[in-house]
Amino acid sequence: MKAMIVKEFRQMRRDKRAMGLMIGLPVMLLVIFGYAARFDVGQIQTVVVGPNAVQVSQSLDSAYDVVEVDETGDRQAVERMLRNSEVEVGIVTGTGSSTMLVDGSELFVAQSALRRIPPATQPEVLFNPNLDTAPVMVPALIGLILLFIGTVVTSLGVVREREQGTLEQLAVMPLRPVDVIVGKIAPYFLVALFDMAVVTIAGLLLFNVPFVGSWLVFGLFGLVFLFVVLGLGVAISTVSKSQGEAVQLAIMTLLPQIMLSGMIFPLESMAAGVRWIGYLLPLTWFIKGARGEFLKGPDFSALALPLALLTLMAAVVFGVAMYRFRGDLAPKRGDAAQEAPFTPAASS
């Protein structure tokens, strides 16, 4: 038995990925559940408008982070700010009572706000009036499914080629690297698009999720996000020798995205350091775009930053992945000395 235990520890020590999973995963879970997993939001970004704006803003609970006070502002201006995700709550004051407009697409933020309704204020939830879960989760689920196909399924597909030795065969066939790369990735791209369509239609028909934004902008988010996740999948495949290794790596990229992207836990409730990790994850920005288009239909300019960040991620991740994948299909000249071209001897 002792021999068995010693052997197992030796193997464990040499399996760097498994060690990473065994040590990295508990640390990640500790961080997530210690600093991120909170449903109660303590900082609600708020705008207060109307004749009594100054007075009302001074009487608000400390959870309300008043970012703007505008005595000349009106309900229309507040609705636009909520639609463009500039604030999460807007209070429209009047001569008598006030109205608190709450962004229902931010489920937990809205619930936190509704637990702290200021006196003489009528709450009104916009975009998701019943605070249903489905309208908030379906857009995020679309991202999760794209992420799964892009990273797990694609990385497995490419690693399988290497394990079978068929990647080597492709490299000696009259194919350009771009033919192999596009030919390999295009089917996953199409399947992911198909799944995106299916989940979207199912969300609309089965769960009665509204879609009030632009299909074009939503499609653009999906497309750019797909490039990021396919790039992630290919990048994972280029550093994995086996399908098992690819799955381990894919899990390590999936978990933080599920936990820290705002899909489940609101970003606003996370500790600053953890929230910034969330800002580095592509799913965070896809969810912002998708939830916006499904529930709020914001101005395009309001989604410019998420889209620009996703595009940047796509360019970097996809670019690096393609560069590395291309290296698998062409000889590595790293340590090869360059010599004058060899002139073959005469035929004999």
Q: Measuring CA to CA, how many Å separate 66 from each of 59, 121, 235, 238?
A: 11, 16, 43, 48
User: Which residue lies nearer to another protein by CB, 67 or 171?
Assistant: 171
> % helix / strand / coil in the chain, to the nearest 5?
65, 10, 30
CB of 188 to another protein, least distance (A): 16
- Helix/strand/coil for 123: strand
CB of 183 to another protein, least distance (A): 10
CB of 185 to another protein, least distance (A): 17
Q: Measuring CA to CA, how many Å separate 51 from each of 54, 120, 142, 198, 231?
A: 8, 15, 43, 48, 52
CB proximity list for 76: less than 8 A, separation 6 or greater: none
User: Which residue lies nearer to another protein by CB, 205 or 339?
Assistant: 339
CB proximity list for 285: less than 8 A, separation 6 or greater: 225, 306, 307, 309, 310, 313
User: Which residue lies nearer to another protein by CB, 301 or 347?
Assistant: 347
CB of 89 to another protein, least distance (A): 55
Residue that is written with structure tokens 């089965």 in the block: 206
| Cα gap 226→148, rounded to integer Å | 10
CB of 213 to another protein, least distance (A): 41
User: Which residue lies nearer to another protein by CB, 297 or 327?
Assistant: 327
Residue that is written with structure tokens 């200021």 in the block: 118
For residues 161 and 170, the answer to whether their CB atoms sit within 8 Å is yes
| Cα gap 179→162, rounded to integer Å | 17
User: Which residue lies nearer to another protein by CB, 171 or 320?
Assistant: 171
CB proximity list for 33: less than 8 A, separation 6 or greater: none
CB of 198 to another protein, least distance (A): 24
User: Which residue lies nearer to another protein by CB, 11 or 164?
Assistant: 164
- Helix/strand/coil for 125: strand
Give me the residues that bind another protein (CB under 8 A), please: 164-166, 168-169, 171-176, 331-333, 335-337, 339, 341-345, 347-348
User: Which residue lies nearer to another protein by CB, 8 or 168?
Assistant: 168
Q: Measured between alpha carbons, how far apart are the two ends of the chain, in Å?
A: 66
User: Which residue lies nearer to another protein by CB, 1 or 173?
Assistant: 173
For residues 230 and 189, the answer to whether their CB atoms sit within 8 Å is yes
User: Which residue lies nearer to another protein by CB, 191 or 198?
Assistant: 191
For residues 150 and 226, the answer to whether their CB atoms sit within 8 Å is yes
CB of 337 to another protein, least distance (A): 5
CB of 16 to another protein, least distance (A): 19
CB of 177 to another protein, least distance (A): 9
